[in-house]
Structure 1
């Protein structure tokens, strides 16, 4: 572990560029981002084609001490002192093959060990953990997609050089089509303040709406088609993405007309006192062979199957799963901004791709360090609450176990050893410092009450640090 940490530190110090922000957002002027220090010449031409190359490396280490637990179940977070880590490295290759047509490819490598094998929480504490499957480094393709821009009448907008964006001037009124392998979250539910666990909040509930069961493989990527229509200060987005063959599986089902994840989002951008903000509404509909919690509960009771994943025994028919949420954010000054998210899913069926939550809320703020003469440092504070539907809650309280959660003891010893339901509540705070040019060193603290919605366990206090750098 010590040699691996030293290697990560060396990679971080060798990396020599700022973190790339989302194009055209004015991110370097708004709170909640690690602002660029210097733009390096990462664009050029190959065989006459404009190209760019970027990269990133991130190491995250998390720890907690023993916490109170009257009992532990099949999928409980270990109550004993634990350590978790992840390391990722990504290359971002891009080429412009026609005036408004780009192709991008992102090979990625990840290693890491999650707390308790990634069980025992609704809001997991490290957004990178979904990609890690052990200490052995795994190489894979994260993204391989083509982007087509169709410009319409409107003001000119400069999209600056960054990861997965070659410098380009486009119209403020345009249609953007993305096809291939990418993450649903690359297109939907963007946020200046709570999006990227590599440089902002780490918890899954701050990556996106925790109750948004978006279509993805086990690493968080999928293949599909997405369209975006930018019209003045409005944006309409829609996509259809491949779903996994089995819930939370790594292999995707290519029968896109039988098994899929659809989403649509409407975004309204605005300014208040020259400070930017926006409000967006997102809805999704998944179709897949999934277990219904009512059927699984009936199976547990009829077969005395407490302490088992009874959902595996009733996963027989295609089901629809739907949800809707709202996201708002507002810059209060150039150094301070706030955000809030709320989402609800129907809660009848098991999780398809993300985590175990049927309703979620999060609020927080992000700011940079201009006022204490550290303009490239950032700080964030957030509060989250996650809940379960009555169907999922009844399944757990009757002794069922699902994919990520289920504190039911095995062998089953009575109703005093099933989930004592309470909403899961999480507070998170982070501070990022520009350690050296273009390399961030960050610390993070998370306080979790009722882990996995069980008041009989916790609270848990998790301390983290990370090193993040890009070139």
Structure 2
């Protein structure tokens, strides 16, 4: 309800501002509007306001063959041959209300069926799968935010026309404030090589740090306030975002002073020779009603409840969850670069909004095809290692089921049917080929050892293809 009211207010403000800025008769306005249509779908003016419109659509199809699985529980990946798919479409609408004030709206539609109802992996194989609810298409607002830029003295920086970015000249020393609905990952943990599952690596562990439990609804979006301070080659970022009412839920809790996700990030950009790179450090602190794994383990034992999701029975108090990580990347040549992400969370509480991981490490390389005459083609190679700390691991080994993982059958038949813990290992390889202008065809392969941290199951080999188009 509150979200819909805010969207209406934002749209009303844009409309009122547009008409206030355009002098003249109604006929002049209609003629001007008709003339302004010629800019679509790039960038131009409507009623005197700079605007842009972009869009994307992505189809991802994934498959694996049957794999070794001596036992399985409620949240196990199905051991049978399986197929999964997602399809998404997004419009990126932007308008410049004043010289340094922009508004952006992103209506989105998604359909799809994830593997095993989105269970059975620590690092899930498709970053789009969090938004899928089934074969029927679902429409929703992905983003609706205002961005204010406050320039200070410094050198000029050109920001090119792009999705959610009207072309702009800004200062290298500036403040940027973002308020409204967006993803925490829109602001934090940017990466040139591993960020967007629509065009780069698909696995969750390459979207961001897998152990970074950032505040979001089940689709990956939230509402909040973020600030960025650019000082030449330094960037300082901070934000507060609202959390879901229940862990991994779709409905958000608007009590931002009681339940929230805070994050701080410091980034330093550099050049080695003329090749760019950067290093950033990110920390977060969440507060909401969550289950503690120690309490859930005690409940399992006291009530002989192995094979059940006991975290639901002990979720009754506000808890804090914290974590910290480092991201580094470096171009090695003009067409090749490497990256590394490492993160650890405290491991005491259940997952609030992202993945089942307390520690994560990812390394990889991105290459474009310039050297073989296909400059728009890209290759990516990566390896990921995901782990659990003692409290979460102890809960699963005691027979508990978590949000996305848990192989203990119900009814429970002995210790051999809980997880045989080992860190989850993921290797990922992709190739994107430009078919025609702005349309990519991608092939992807993922090899997962110890899926959902259980050495008794797997390995799993996932083959994917992807079609991505944008304007």
Fold similarity call, TM over 0.5: yes
Equivalent residue number for residue 210 of structure 1: 210
Question: Is the counterpart of residue 146 in structure 1 residue 132 in structure 2?
Answer: no
Structure 2 unpaired stretches of 5+: 1-38
DSSP 3-state at the match of 1:411: coil
Deviation at 1:202, TM superposition (A): 0.1
Equivalent residue number for residue 335 of structure 1: 335
Deviation sequence 1:80-116 (CA, Å, 0-9, x none): 0000000000000000000000000000000000000
DSSP 3-state at the match of 1:209: coil
Deviation at 1:70, TM superposition (A): 1.1
Contact 2:122-2:405 at 8 Å conserved across structures: yes
Deviation at 1:226, TM superposition (A): 0.1
User: Could you say which structure has the larger radius of gyration?
Assistant: 2
Deviation at 1:149, TM superposition (A): 0.1
Deviation at 1:41, TM superposition (A): 5.8
Equivalent residue number for residue 30 of structure 1: none
Equivalent residue number for residue 250 of structure 1: 250
DSSP 3-state at the match of 1:331: strand
Deviation at 1:40, TM superposition (A): 8.1
Deviation at 1:316, TM superposition (A): 1.0
> Bigger relative contact order, structure 1 or 2, given CA contacts below 8 A and separation 6+?
1
Equivalent residue number for residue 50 of structure 1: 50
After the TM superposition, which segments of 4 or more aligned residues of structure 1 sit over 2 Å from their partners?
none
Deviation at 1:253, TM superposition (A): 0.4
In the alignment, the residues of structure 2 paired with residue 40 and residue 261 of structure 1 have an alpha-carbon distance, to the nearest angstrom, of 38
Q: TM-score under structure 2 normalisation?
A: 0.91
Deviation sequence 1:213-243 (CA, Å, 0-9, x none): 0000000000000000000100000000000
Deviation at 1:62, TM superposition (A): 0.1
Question: Is the counterpart of residue 449 in structure 1 residue 449 in structure 2?
Answer: yes
Structure 1 unpaired stretches of 5+: 1-38
**How many residues of Structure 1 are paired with residues of Structure 2 in the alignment?**
433
Question: Is the counterpart of residue 191 in structure 1 residue 191 in structure 2?
Answer: yes
Deviation sequence 1:314-367 (CA, Å, 0-9, x none): 111100000000000000001100000000000000000001000000000000
In the alignment, the residues of structure 1 paired with residue 443 and residue 331 of structure 2 have an alpha-carbon distance, to the nearest angstrom, of 24
In the alignment, the residues of structure 2 paired with residue 410 and residue 450 of structure 1 have an alpha-carbon distance, to the nearest angstrom, of 21
In the alignment, the residues of structure 2 paired with residue 352 and residue 413 of structure 1 have an alpha-carbon distance, to the nearest angstrom, of 30
Deviation sequence 1:36-74 (CA, Å, 0-9, x none): xxx986111111100000000000000000001111111
In the alignment, the residues of structure 1 paired with residue 442 and residue 40 of structure 2 have an alpha-carbon distance, to the nearest angstrom, of 23
Equivalent residue number for residue 415 of structure 1: 415
Equivalent residue number for residue 100 of structure 2: 100
DSSP 3-state at the match of 1:130: helix
In the alignment, the residues of structure 2 paired with residue 107 and residue 40 of structure 1 have an alpha-carbon distance, to the nearest angstrom, of 18
Q: TM-score under structure 1 normalisation?
A: 0.91
In the alignment, the residues of structure 2 paired with residue 361 and residue 456 of structure 1 have an alpha-carbon distance, to the nearest angstrom, of 22
In the alignment, the residues of structure 1 paired with residue 307 and residue 334 of structure 2 have an alpha-carbon distance, to the nearest angstrom, of 52
Contact 2:242-2:261 at 8 Å conserved across structures: yes
In the alignment, the residues of structure 2 paired with residue 296 and residue 89 of structure 1 have an alpha-carbon distance, to the nearest angstrom, of 40
Equivalent residue number for residue 75 of structure 2: 75
